[in-house]
Amino acid sequence: MWQQLVLIALLGLVATINCATAERVRYDNYHVFELQPQTTAQLVAIQALEGSGDSLLFLNAVHYLDAKINVLVAPHRVADFLSVLQHNQIPHRLVDENAQKSLDFEELVADPNRRGGEYTWAEYHELEDTYAWLRALAEKYPDQVSVFVAGKSYEGREILGVKIAYGSGSGSSDDGATKRRGIFIEGGMHAREWISPATTTYIINQLLTSTNADVRRTAESFEWYVVPHSNPDGYVYTHTNNRLWRKTRTPYGNCFGADPNRNWDFHWNEVGSSNNPCSDTYAGPKAFSEIETRTLAEYISKLKGKLFLYLSFHSYSQLLLFPYGHTGELPPNYKDLKRVFDVTVAAVSKRYGTRYTGGNVYDAIYPAAGASLDWAYGTMEVPYSYCFELRPSGSSLWTGFRLPADQIVPTGEEIMDSMLAMIKESGALANL
């Protein structure tokens, strides 16, 4: 324990996180290091640094060996940080000498702050632009689309979603009265993963406008519930203050936010999360401590028995994941989940050759308890529950969170291809 305290003291860090101000966080001359702990002692040393202050920003989970961990280090802390790495013989390499320069490149690729005009997938949109578009869809397609509020955020924003249903399944009722099975799609859980809500809105548009026969048949055969922004406060914060923000915005002492994808009440905080409020993987003080996860779960609970497929969109790594995250023990219908998985990852590569891998969360990426897909599977008894970790691949550097806007449409296209295959296969297995 004393060694951990010495490490923190050496860095001279204080546990203060940028408060909600109008000033935008910049990362001028922040160095980006890639660490790869190979021993338990090295991992413990890194864990002592994570969440210890805003001079270090960890972009990956710090819970397991041989994983690549990207860290942004403030320029005045680089020498001390390197001293800690060398003292503990932690394998590392410098991948970027000026993080802000790489982030500024995103502003050249897309204008994420443009307001008004046509809603397209040539750029990333602000929250209110997407919400206005969702409401406009209900006016444009009153017989197929209804808007629903799936919950609330800490700062009072709505968690807005749309229900899409054709024929006898149309309308605003969510009581599960119709026999048509449901598909729930959730995006934007982690604020900085902008490609996630962009992909969910692309899917919405395809379900309503595509003339492809397979898309039309699939769109009209199910009731769809789509929530592009599960963490609206965090997403707004990435536009106004800190592009790399991940969590909610609930205050916890001098720190803000919990990881909403470690906060669900299914084997909560058993593994792969942190008890440190300053950590990006902070699980919260208790399961469903975050109003976002709690109220979203309350809405989804109304659909119990109706849903046969749950999809969660994240980035990045090009992975398709299924339960469980808290244990390496395989779920009861593993063979069916794996069969659907195989069909899906094969389909995603057909258009552009994009290669996805994956499997059960615990083994394919890392132990992570308290995630939404596990709760949907284990508590809501949704038989097919998956998480897409979207473009780019895990071999990309830390800049993977700022996927260029010109990749939104290709990402959406290949995900639609894979979803059609997934739904066809899982529907056949479920005798739908």
- Please list the active-site residues: 389
Q: How many whole angstroms separate alpha carbon 326 and alpha carbon 374?
A: 9
Residue 320 DSSP label: E
Please, are residues 93 and 35 in contact by the beta-carbon 8 Å criterion?
Answer: no
Helices (H) and strands (E) counted in the chain, each on its own, are: 13, 14
177 backbone dihedrals φ, ψ, rounded to 5°: -70, -30
Considering Cα of 236, then 241, then 244, then 245, what sign does the dihedral take?
negative
Q: How far is CA 362 from CA 321, 368, 388, in A?
A: 9, 7, 15
Give the residues across from 147 on adjacent strands: 162
Q: How many whole angstroms separate alpha carbon 110 and alpha carbon 125?
A: 10
**Residue found under tokens 């408060």:** 19
Q: How many whole angstroms separate alpha carbon 206 and alpha carbon 240?
A: 30
Residues whose CB is less than 8 angstroms from the CB of residue 393 and which lie 6 or more positions away in sequence, other chains included: 316, 317, 318, 355
Please, are residues 99 and 27 in contact by the beta-carbon 8 Å criterion?
Answer: yes
365 backbone dihedrals φ, ψ, rounded to 5°: -130, -60
Total length of the chain: 432
Q: What is the DSSP string of 243-295?
A: TT--S---EETTEE---GGG-SSSSTTSSS-BS-TTSTTB--SSTT-SHHHHH
Please, are residues 193 and 402 in contact by the beta-carbon 8 Å criterion?
Answer: no
